[in-house]
Amino acid sequence: MDIINNMKKNILFSASFLSSDFTEMKNNIEIIESAKADFIHFDVMDGNFVPVITYGEKMISDCRKISKLPFDVHLMINRPEHLIPEIAAAGADIITIQAESTIHLHRVVTQISELKKKAGICIIPSTPIENIIELLPFVDLVLIMTVNPGYGAQEFIWEMLEKVKKLKQIREKHNYKYLLEVDGGINQETYKPALEAGVDLIVAGSAFFNCPAPSKFVEMIKGGF
């Protein structure tokens, strides 16, 4: 099943696993699934590209055993090409790499596609969209970080929505296929402006897991404007 093309007409939500309590892994997945999230978002961090270390392919593989939801895996690591085969085998459906993390971006995007996974590319707040223009025909997803990556519960950087607007214009002009995703600082106050800018896929962690009714949070996001 084409998990992206089959969902393109809808507003999508991806629950960020990083913000959950890892001692309650199975319960966390049940919360995500019962809330009718479209994806589970996994942030793989190496303590090098970003300041902290999170988890790797084993966590994703263990979660794959207890969930049928598509896995949206974001590699915040240097030289991701060395880990991509393991992440793919662990059960990732979408693999997103950082534009700043490797020299041969086209080669790594192709590597993901050849593994029959959806390929995404991400830029941090300080990276202009011009750095990824040549990659846009080859990716299925573009992730705009709306915080500086590495920690949860940061404040939303509003200026990043201008990148979303530009990328939407480029997609329409060239009939590209990528989804636009944002991650960082998404909550009840920021999701609507993100959607108005042209976002297709919203990632949220702290706001989702700290909400007294996660299903209501997802319903609000997917209800749109």
**What's the structural domain count of the chain?**
1
The boundaries of the domain holding residue 59 are 5-220
3-state secondary structure 15-81: EEHHHCCHHHHHHHHHHHHHCCCCEEEEEEEECCCCCCECCCHHHHHHHHCCCCCCEEEEEECCCHH
CA distance 111 to 97: 11
pLDDT in tens, 47-57: 999 999 999 99
21 is catalytic: no
Q: Looking at 46, 72, 183, 200, which residue is catalytic?
A: 183
Closest C-alpha to 201, from 225, 220, 221: 221
Q: Looking at 43, 46, 140, 200, which residue is catalytic?
A: 43
Domain assignment present for residue 225? The answer is no
pLDDT in single tens digits along all 225 residues of the chain: 466 665 556 899 999 999 999 999 999 999 999 999 999 999 999 999 999 999 999 999 999 999 999 999 999 999 999 999 999 999 999 999 999 999 999 999 999 999 999 999 999 999 999 999 999 999 999 999 999 987 666 789 999 999 999 999 999 999 999 999 999 999 999 999 999 999 999 999 999 999 999 999 999 999 986
Domain assignment present for residue 38? The answer is yes
Report residue 53 as tokens.
């270390």
Q: Return the amino acid letter for 43.
A: D
- Give the global pTM: 0.95
Q: Return the amino acid letter for 127.
A: T
72 is catalytic: no
The CATH number of residue 142's host domain is: 3.20.20.70
pLDDT in tens, 191-202: 999 999 999 999
